[in-house]
Amino acid sequence: LASWVPVVGLEIHAQISSNSKLFSGSQVQFAAPPNSLVSFFDASLPGTLPVLNRRCVEAAVMTGLALNCSINKKSLFDRKHYFYADLPAGYQITQQRVPIAVNGSLSYSLCIDNKMSQMVTKTVRIKQIQLEQDSGKSLHDDARSQTLVDLNRAGVGLMEVVMEPDMCCGEEAAAAVRELQLILQTLGSSQAVMAEGQLRVDANVSVHHPGEPYGVRTEVKNINSIRFLAKAVDYEIQRQIEELENGGTILNETRAFDSKLGCTIPMRDKEGKQDYRFMPEPNLPPLILYDAKSLPVNMNHQQVVNIDWIRERLPDLPSVKRAKLVELYGILPEHSFTLLNEDGLAEYFENVVKQTQMKPKKVIGWILNDLLSYLKQHALPVKESPVSSFLLADLLNLLERREISSSAAKQVFEELWKGEGKTPLEIVKEKKLELIQDQKELEKVCQEVIDRQEDEVIMMVLG
């Protein structure tokens, strides 16, 4: 069987976390009543003009810096034309010619063979980040042959992050997106919750034989979670391989992922190739950004965006946080991944460590095995844990001081989980789980047991 090289690239749209939209003052809010967050500009009323939102620019610069991009000190806005009910102006304002950031990279980690203990780091190149408008939403009501249009989302700021086709499978794509998500959430530039449409991923997939040129690629859309991303990509790779091995050809088309069937299907024909008739946006002058060197002396700093100023204030990125956790606490790298993967878990862990004498290397076991599994079982986020870090630390201290055994500790933990407000010590006393340290006391207990079970003892002695 000839070997195939799958090639996967991603186009990710992240909704910018801001109070108002990219070019207008209307509010950004999820699940508001339809058409309640629409300004005259968003509705494309004639005579209205775009005004650039500074916060959106800062979000894009932050993201660009976090992804090791070059920030273009001059970037341009363009119009991309097509007709659709959710695009009131008949064009989207985007950055096609010169985007705000280019040539970056993102490092992500994967487990080899599903073993957490073997992680490998990979890198994907970031082609560019561009600012653009989100479209509205249209809902097709086939029963009444009508389309309902909600423009609340029309004009919300997006960062489109283009990842080069450096990935080779669903797992890599998923890991890359997961890391991007964490970065965006750490920066605060996007809340990046896929379920709320704040992070949308389209995958470009193709296959070719080693040494041969890249194959025809398809675009896969309608992917609603990271899990489905991996599935969709892997399915599409398989589909293309099978198609080609059966002598078929791959069409340069757009396919939708059907999560129920677990496969990709061709999307309704979009009238062949679209010519977007790109044209410079004449109502927006070039976006000029400054750094410490180029900032004019008497410029009002409220009026400009200073790249260096933003760089200095970047928070620790996930990769840095993980490294710090490993160094500070001596935990394994894979542990640090899990800690960061759950919102608030790293903080929880650190709080427990602060309040207990138990070594972090032992604490981590309790966090990742006990606490986390309970949280998962009950589908609770860390912040809703009935066991606070204080209580857990308290429990671990009892264990560390050998006042209880580890199996007893697990029982106490189960009780704590009920959230009845009892302290670990109270539970221990209630259930008589104290470890007996006194020699005489122990002898007494053993004697009692032997006395009760005389027959068994005689059998044992006789052998």
Q: Give the one residue of 19, 32, 51, 320 binding another protein; rule: CB under 8 A.
A: 51
Residues 282-321 that bind another protein (CB under 8 A): 282-285
Binding mask 250-279 toward another protein (x if CB under 8 A, else -) reads -------------------------xxxxx
- 97 touches another protein (CB under 8 A): no
**Region from 44-52, 156-164, 244-252, 397-405 binding another protein, contact rule CB under 8 A:** 44-52
Based on CB atoms, which residue is closest to another protein, 123 or 283?
Answer: 283
According to DSSP, the β-strands at 254-258 and 218-223 are parallel
- 111 touches another protein (CB under 8 A): no
- 43 touches another protein (CB under 8 A): yes
Minimum distance between the CB of residue 47 and another protein, rounded to whole angstroms?
5
- What's the DSSP call for residue 196? G
- 381 touches another protein (CB under 8 A): no
According to DSSP, the β-strands at 91-94 and 78-81 are antiparallel
- 149 touches another protein (CB under 8 A): yes
Based on CB atoms, which residue is closest to another protein, 89 or 174?
Answer: 89
| Angle made by CA atoms 238, 243, 244, in degrees to the nearest 5 | 100
Based on CB atoms, which residue is closest to another protein, 89 or 156?
Answer: 89
- List beta partners, residue 377: none
Chain mean position to CA 274? 32
CA atoms of 315 and 432, how far apart (whole Å): 48
- 147 touches another protein (CB under 8 A): yes
Minimum distance between the CB of residue 106 and another protein, rounded to whole angstroms?
31
Query: What HEC string does 125-193 produce?
Result: EEEEEEEEECCCEEEEEHHHCEEEEECCCCCCEEEEEEEEEEECCHHHHHHHHHHHHHHHHHHCCCCCC
| DSSP result, 391-438 | HHHHHHHHHHTTSS-HHHHHHHHHHHHT--S--HHHHHHHHT-PPP--
| Alpha carbon distance, N-terminus to C-terminus of the chain | 64
Minimum distance between the CB of residue 149 and another protein, rounded to whole angstroms?
7
Minimum distance between the CB of residue 30 and another protein, rounded to whole angstroms?
23
Q: How many residues bind another protein (CB under 8 A)?
A: 32
Residues interacting with another protein, by CB under 8 A? 40, 43-52, 79, 81, 83-85, 88-91, 145, 147, 149, 275-279, 282-285
